[in-house]
Amino acid sequence: MNRILLLLLLILGTGFPSSAHVITSLEKQPWATQLSTSQKLEIRETISTVMGSAQPPDPTQRQRFWELLGSMPPAEFQQFTRDVIQIHLRHQLLWTRDALITARSGVARKSPERETLEQAMMRQGIFSRWQVEQMDTALTQFAAGEATRLPGLIPLEAATLEQTLDNLEKAEEHLATLFSRPLDMPADSALTHFTTRAFQATIQSRQGPLDVQAALKIHFASRNPATTMQELRTVQNHIESTARDVIFTQRAESVETPQGKERMLRQLARDINALIHSGRIERVELQSWHIRAP
């Protein structure tokens, strides 16, 4: 695993889900009583290996993972997934993205999604209020030019943060691949797609920040639990806020290329999927996209 990423995880104090956390999260689910201790340890080791690898999980890893977990009830599996991926790995990604936005804008950033997640983590005893305040203070000091380094370990520089964010996104993508499985057919109320309102965002370019007007069309997998319009409306503001953050970290010149555009859309799909409890996003496409000339 990249050394920069390891240093950041040490700074934030949580790191990737620990061995104990994976086992604890698994044992919260009633179905897990069917697993032996050795099987639980095997699941833990598979998760740790996939998160630390530069490559996505191979077919053998996925097959064995689902031999162990494939019969877990969907609701329990979704809770286990959220515990392992969102509670720990997701927070690392959100904090790093906020740090990158702070580095580029000169204004301390705290996304609504990170705020919500940290409140949940404090309620669960994963974070103390002091830890959350320390992370916020670090970004405030950095924005004010008072600190360029968290306790002697990692420089808060855009290039370093970009690399760290890229590593975290890959780890999240690898875990999403490992945890993906065939799901039940959707209920009649399930949506096949959802289009956001048009929203304003900012993207980086060689000429400086540029204004963007965008709208996203979100496609849900056909074999997917019910995702209702009511559920999406409750998180629509978070979806748009998350999309703005993702777009802010992109380069206009990169997004104009097919590879860069596809990379941004994959990132949007992963991030928005984390906001929707019952859905599974198949892909995101640009319903509209207009960059205003400087």
CATH number of the CATH domain containing 259:
3.30.1130
Q: For residue 16, count CB atoms less than 10 angstroms from its CB and return exposed for 0-12, middle for 13-18, buried for 19 or more.
A: buried
| pLDDT exceeds 80 at position 190 | no
Look at residue 259 in the predicted model and tell me its pLDDT.
93
CA 39 to chain centre: 27
Contacts of 25 (CB under 8 A, 6+ apart): 17, 80, 83, 84
Mean pLDDT for 124-133 is: 84
Q: Does one domain contain both 131 and 238? A: no
Mean pLDDT for 1-21 is: 45
Question: Three-state SS across 129-173?
Answer: HHHHHHHHHHHHHHHCCCCCEECCCEECCHHHHHHHHHHHHHHHH
Identify the domain containing residue 137 by its residue range. 3-179
Mean pLDDT for 28-47 is: 84
Place 29 in a pLDDT band, splitting at 50, 70 and 90: confident
Say whether 27 sits in a helix, a strand or coil.
helix
Q: Does one domain contain both 61 and 108? A: yes
Q: Does one domain contain both 12 and 60? A: yes
| pLDDT exceeds 80 at position 280 | no
Domain boundary among 121, 149, 179: 179
Place 228 in a pLDDT band, splitting at 50, 70 and 90: low
| pLDDT exceeds 60 at position 270 | yes
Q: For residue 85, count CB atoms less than 10 angstroms from its CB and return exposed for 0-12, middle for 13-18, buried for 19 or more.
A: buried
Q: Does one domain contain both 120 and 236? A: no
Q: Does one domain contain both 19 and 55? A: yes
User: pLDDT exceeding 90 applies to what percent of the chain?
Assistant: 23
Residue positions counted in the chain? 294
Asked whether residue 156 is assigned to any structural domain, the reply reads yes
Q: Does one domain contain both 159 and 52? A: yes
Rounded CA gap, 159 and 251, in Å?
13
Asked whether residue 188 is assigned to any structural domain, the reply reads no
Hey, what are 117's tokens? 């997640």
Q: Does one domain contain both 75 and 136? A: yes
Place 292 in a pLDDT band, splitting at 50, 70 and 90: confident
In contact, 174 and 50? CB cutoff 8 Å = yes
Look at residue 197 in the predicted model and tell me its pLDDT.
84
User: Would you give the DSSP letter of residue 204?
Assistant: B
| pLDDT exceeds 60 at position 3 | no
Q: Does one domain contain both 163 and 254? A: no
Q: 14-18, 133-137, 224-228: which has the minimum mean pLDDT? A: 14-18
What is the chain's alpha carbon radius of gyration, rounded to the nearest angstrom? 19
Q: Does one domain contain both 90 and 236? A: no
Asked whether residue 103 is assigned to any structural domain, the reply reads yes
Domain boundary among 125, 147, 179: 179
Mean pLDDT for 153-162 is: 73
Asked whether residue 184 is assigned to any structural domain, the reply reads no
Q: Does one domain contain both 116 and 244? A: no
Q: Does one domain contain both 175 and 221? A: no
Look at residue 2 in the predicted model and tell me its pLDDT.
41
Q: Report if pTM > 0.85.
A: no
Q: Does one domain contain both 83 and 214? A: no
Rounded CA gap, 72 and 58, in Å?
21
Q: For residue 59, count CB atoms less than 10 angstroms from its CB and return exposed for 0-12, middle for 13-18, buried for 19 or more.
A: exposed
Closest by CA position to 201, among listed 239, 169, 168, 233: 239
Asked whether residue 77 is assigned to any structural domain, the reply reads yes
Domain boundary among 129, 156, 179: 179
Look at residue 34 in the predicted model and tell me its pLDDT.
79
In contact, 212 and 290? CB cutoff 8 Å = yes
> How many domains does the chain fold into?
2
Mean pLDDT, rounded, of the chain: 79
Which range, 5-9, 50-54, 69-73, 215-219, has the best average confidence (pLDDT)?
215-219
pLDDT tens-digit series, residues 245-269? 999 999 999 999 999 999 999 999 9
Look at residue 20 in the predicted model and tell me its pLDDT.
60
Contacts of 75 (CB under 8 A, 6+ apart): none
